[in-house]
Amino acid sequence: MDQAVYLDHAATTPMLPEAVRAMTDRLAVTGNASSLHAAGRRARRTVEESRERLAAAFGARPSEVVFTSGGTEADNLAVKGLYWARRAEDPARTRVLASPVEHHAVLDAVHWLQKHEGATVDWLPVDGHGRVHPDALRAALERGPGGGAGDVALATVMWANNETGTVMPVAGLAAVAREYGVPLHADAVQAAGQTEVDFGASGLAALTLTGHKIGGPYGIGALLLGREHAPEPLLHGGGQEREVRSGTLDVPAVAAFAVAGELAAERRAEFAAGVGALRDDLVAAVRAAVPDAVLNGDPDPAGRLPANAHFSFPGCEGDSLLLLLDAQGIECSTGSACTAGVAQPSHVLLAAGADADLARGTLRFSLGHTSTAADVAALAAAIGPAVARARAAGLT
């Protein structure tokens, strides 16, 4: 195969040409957005116009857009920062409610609070598709002293799962959290550009975005943060972003991120329809080639991201199967790129009740704006023989 078939857009997707142009146009332009001279003011104008474009794309006010270095920093700022701020207001607030299927940027931040900051953690139960239901959040909130949520610092449930693509009932969860006066954060890194993400309508306190999942550059992201919330900073310095995030802004990356976000929102319906049809063809092709393959996540297309297909292959190790496909020029993932190469069962599938062996033999195929029917056909031809070889290797 002369050119690789790229089926790992959930890890990162190619930059959109428009975002590349926006970034390169500004790379040779000097100016720190915090400087008061003319060059600084020009840079500041680019930043503020970009902030307005991102806010419009995702249903936020410009003042609610806090630029970060990416999704991981935004998740950490939300989880740790809100915990510290809420505990400072009331030392009794040491409980964190979190779903067990979160990305490690959230999971590890929660574990860190538990280990170093005295947090107690309630892991919210999920159903067989890995979905948290509002009733489960309500039950956890009511487990506090006197049947209330006075000891809860925050709750965090992702908008859509990065492995299985299952979409969460965010508006319902946020309504319950608001009823108890608890801020709810959602990592929407995977959801942005695939399903409608409207921060204002969601009722969330905070929402995480990143550039490289929607056709923007690496190293830039944002925390959409309600004006009534002021998390304690992770980084201290100039306080450039609402006094909650310090650091000189990467103006070219900010500009490119805004273009990518704007286009992702504008093209979302068309993208979802086109890539969703390709995804359905991919699912059918894999099932035809490997009849006992198990499609994980919500089987209803309306309940999962349109670009995602996550399978378990009985009798296979996911890493072995990935490498067999990679040798044929087909690039995919065993799940989250952050755990690639680690021979462990998927924590997402384990939380949803899957068998550990089945949770170890998973592959995620994720599509994007450059995906084609030829990519699906290449996978259809390769997956059956690759599974057969992986199973044979497991028997030796």
Q: How does pLDDT run across 170-188, given as a tens digit for each residue?
A: 999 999 999 999 999 999 9
pLDDT on residue 21: 98
pLDDT on residue 145: 83
Q: How does pLDDT run across 254-306, given as a tens digit for each residue?
A: 999 999 999 999 999 999 999 999 999 999 999 999 999 999 999 999 999 99
Q: State the catalytic residue, choosing from 1, 88, 201, 338.
A: 338
pLDDT on residue 118: 97
Question: Which residue do the tokens 């069962």 mark?
Answer: 345
Q: What is the secondary structure of 132-149 as a DSSP string?
A: --HHHHHHHHTTSGGGS-
pLDDT on residue 134: 98
Q: How far is CA 352 from CA 38, 130, 133, 316, 348, in A?
A: 55, 5, 13, 20, 6
Contact 80, 109 (CB under 8 A): yes
User: Mean pLDDT, to the nearest integer, of 141-164?
Assistant: 94
Q: Is the pLDDT of residue 339 over 60?
A: no
User: Mean pLDDT, to the nearest integer, of 348-372?
Assistant: 95
Report the alpha-carbon distance of residue 98 to residue 155 in Å, rounded: 6
Q: Is the pLDDT of residue 340 over 80?
A: no
Cα 131–134–137 angle (5° rounding)?
95
The structure tokens listed for 173 are 């969860």
Report residue 234's pLDDT band, with 50, 70 and 90 as the boundaries: very high
Q: Is the pLDDT of residue 148 over 90?
A: no
Averaged confidence pLDDT in the chain: 95
Q: Which helix (H) or strand (E) holds 326?
A: helix 318-327
The answer to whether domain 5-14+268-395 and domain 17-266 are alike in fold is no
Q: Is the pLDDT of residue 329 over 90?
A: yes
Report the alpha-carbon distance of residue 190 to residue 103 in Å, rounded: 10
Q: Residue 132 region, left (φ>0) first, then alpha (ψ -120 to 50), else beta?
A: beta
The structure tokens listed for 324 are 């067999």
Q: What is the secondary structure of 265-293 as a DSSP string?
A: HHTHHHHHHHHHHHHHHHHHHHHHHSTT-
Contact 188, 160 (CB under 8 A): yes
Contact partners, residue 59, CB within 8 Å, separation at least 6 = 197, 198, 199, 200, 201, 202
Q: How far is CA 366 from CA 53, 57, 177, in A?
A: 27, 23, 32
Report the alpha-carbon distance of residue 50 to residue 44 in Å, rounded: 10
CATH architecture for segment(s) 5-14+268-395: Alpha-Beta Complex (3.90)
Helix (H, G, I), strand (E, B) or coil at 153: strand
Q: Is the pLDDT of residue 14 over 90?
A: yes
- Phi, psi (rounded to 5 degrees) for 80: -70, -45
Report residue 144's pLDDT band, with 50, 70 and 90 as the boundaries: confident
Q: Is the pLDDT of residue 250 over 80?
A: yes
List the single range of 16-20, 238-242, 343-347 with lowest mean pLDDT.
Answer: 343-347
Q: Does 3.40.640.10 match the CATH number of domain 17-266?
A: yes
Report the alpha-carbon distance of residue 235 to residue 45 in Å, rounded: 24
Report residue 333's pLDDT band, with 50, 70 and 90 as the boundaries: very high
Report residue 309's pLDDT band, with 50, 70 and 90 as the boundaries: very high
Q: Where are the domains of the chain?
A: 5-14+268-395, 17-266
Report residue 344's pLDDT band, with 50, 70 and 90 as the boundaries: confident
User: Mean pLDDT, to the nearest integer, of 224-249?
Assistant: 97
Q: What is the DSSP letter of 361?
A: S
Report the alpha-carbon distance of residue 112 to residue 323 in Å, rounded: 33
Residue 332 is a catalytic residue: no
Q: How does pLDDT run across 78-122, given as a tens digit for each residue?
A: 999 999 999 999 999 999 999 999 999 999 999 999 999 999 999
> What is the sign, positive or negative, of the torsion defined by CA atoms of 17, 21, 22, 26?
positive
Q: How does pLDDT run across 27-53, given as a tens digit for each residue?
A: 999 999 999 999 999 999 999 999 999
> What Rg, from alpha-carbon coordinates, does the chain have?
21
